Each structure stands twice: as C-alpha cells, then as structure tokens.
Amino acid sequence: MRFRTQLRDSRTFSKLTASLSSLGKVCWMRLEHDVIRFTIIPDQGTQVWASIPVGTIFDDTTYELESNSDAINIEVNISVLNRALRSAWGSTHTQLRLTKKDKTPLLALTVLASEWTEGNMALATNNDADGFGDESNPEAPADTTGDRGPRERQTWITQEIPIKILHESAVEGLHEPHCPDPEVHIILPNLAQLKSISDRFTKLASTDSKSRQPGVMAPEAPGMHSVSFSGSGANTAATALSTNSSPKLELSANMHGSLRLAIATDELRIASVWSDLVNPPLDPAQMTQEQMSQLPSELNRKREASDGFESGWAKVRIDGKDWSRVLSIGRLSPKVVAFGMERNLV
C-alpha cells in the first residue's frame, strides 16, 4: 500500500476540510486514482458525502497510489487535518504521503516554509556554524565582512497526522443515499445572510418554546433531509436525520426564482422571502429533451404558471441547528445550488 503526492491547491483543500469539520469530527477519506471522497456519518445529525477530482487539489504528475483494491480507505480527524493544511498556505512545495511510525499509520504533510532574514543571520559565520541559526558560540568573533542584506531562508516542516486504515470489507456496505428527481432547483442567496436569518429564526423559536415549558420543545415528528452543494471542483451531498434538538425551519422554493424561509410555533410565525433568484438549467447531456420535460421541476414550473402562485412550491422542514452547520460550507464556495423535493433538500 502506497500513497504520495504533491499538493496543487492547498487553500481549496484547507477550505474543504474546514467546511467538513463544522459538520463532523471523524471523516472517512477514500483515495482513488481519479477522485478523492470524503464521508462523514455521525450517530445522529448531518451526513456528508463529498467528492473532488484528484487534479483539483493534487498534482497529477506526482500522484502515486498503490493498493490491491485500487483505493485506500482512511479514517482521519478532519479538524487535525485542517490545522495541518493551514500551515501549507503560501508554501512553494507541499507533499502528502502515507507512512508509519511504530506500527501506527500516519499521514505526513511536509511543507517547505520560507522566511526572510537580515544581516549575518542569513550567512554561515562563527556564531552560526551550520548556517541555520541553531548553534551559537558567544565567544567567537562576529563576521564583519559578510553581506548584511536580506536573505531567504527555507525550512522543511513535517506534520504527522494519526489515521486508521480501513479494510475494504469495512466500508463496502456504505453507500450514498439515493434522492428522487428534484421538484425545484435554485441558486441560494448569499449564504452568510441566509445563515444569519436562519440562526435568528431558530433562536426566536427556541426562546418561545422555553417560555412555555421547561427545555426545548420537541419537534412534531422526526424527519430526514439532505443537502448537496458544489463548487471549486467539489461535489458534496449531506443527508441529515432530525436530532429533535432544535426547532424546525420550513424552507420552500419554486421554479420562478423565489425562496421562502419560515418558522412557526403556537405563539409566532415569521418568514423571509427572496425573489429574482436563478433557477439554473439542468445538463441537457444527461437526458433527452422529452425526459427533461417530464421532470418534477419542469412540471412544477408549468403547474405554477397555470394553477397559481402556491401550487408549484417544494417545501421541506429541516432541523435549525443542522441547517446552520450545513450553511457553513460557504467558506468553500459562495454559490450553492439547492434541489428540493418532498421531504428532501439536496
């Protein structure tokens, strides 16, 4: 088993892992020849299924992967990986490889860090025997003949990230949830704004629930929803199972550029509406024109035009806290396409 590669875009990789770390702690990372897959499946809450082409973050020419199954399955703490990747920002050379120390598997991230020094510290003198400033002899005379101009100093830094190698049999039963054809597809508004309003609605509903009875009122019924997003070459899907820990938000959209976020309790009902959003076209290469015309989203577009404003909306109720964590993916890409269908938001 062997894995070694140079990083092409450490910033995108770092932003991706930062987004994933807000949704879970332990990540299943599957290394394949053409794609890298990231999966987070907690005991409850949001599931994440993400994939990104190898060439988006890794250098194709240095990418080496050897395994009997043509894939390597790794369990890693995604927050630890993210902290290591942040140190690679601005580095001219970053290598990621699979290694082992005392029979413990590790991901080794090696970074070439550069800094500028001034004066004799950049040169090998009697006070700096090896030229790297890590040995000092105060009794030796100073070098007064060297160049005192600034010099670039380079240092190799290796960080070791503990991991667990998963056998293929341990993950072969894990499959991404299947979602039906969308009833609505729409580009969401600014995610920071949407998250701010969603958090405000959730807080208001929680306060209202606490004022009427001890603790947070349990939602009417558990449900399941999923969210997927794409950007910077990444394709990610998140499926969330209700945790019964926060109020439910109602998110609805139509095929005429409208999105509505609402929450209702016995004491209040509030809503925020966006209009003039974009309903992006689906890829015509994936299906014929006749097949596309029979999609639920296209039927909803026609139904709303003929039967009235409310008839073409797709609605879903989602856990407020889970939704807030999912919206944290805005750091990876500001543009997110949402696909809505009954009991699902993709």
The pLDDT tens digits for 130-170 are 443 444 444 444 544 555 666 767 788 899 999 999 999 88
Residue 134 lies in a domain: no
Q: Give percent of the chain with pLDDT exceeding 70.
A: 70
**160 and 188 part of one domain:** no
Q: Give percent of the chain with pLDDT exceeding 90.
A: 29
Picking from 171, 206, 240, the residue at the C-terminal end of a domain is: 171
Q: How far is CA 135 from CA 23, 96, 317, in A?
A: 46, 30, 64
Measured CA to CA, the distance from residue 127 to residue 146 in angstroms comes to 13
Residue 139 lies in a domain: no
Q: How far is CA 284 from CA 186, 224, 251, in A?
A: 17, 30, 27
Residue 240 lies in a domain: yes
Residue 241's pLDDT band (boundaries 50, 70, 90)? very low
Number of domains the chain is built from: 2
pLDDT tens-digit profile of 26-64?
A: 999 999 999 999 999 887 777 888 889 999 999 999 999
Picking from 171, 195, 217, the residue at the C-terminal end of a domain is: 171
**162 and 26 part of one domain:** yes
**17 and 50 part of one domain:** yes
Measured CA to CA, the distance from residue 94 to residue 85 in angstroms comes to 9
pLDDT of residue 297: 75
CATH number at residue 108: 3.70.10.10
Measured CA to CA, the distance from residue 216 to residue 245 in angstroms comes to 7
Residue 261 lies in a domain: yes
Measured CA to CA, the distance from residue 98 to residue 272 in angstroms comes to 48
Which tokens in the block code for residue 184? Answer: 């609505």
Domain that holds residue 226: 184-345
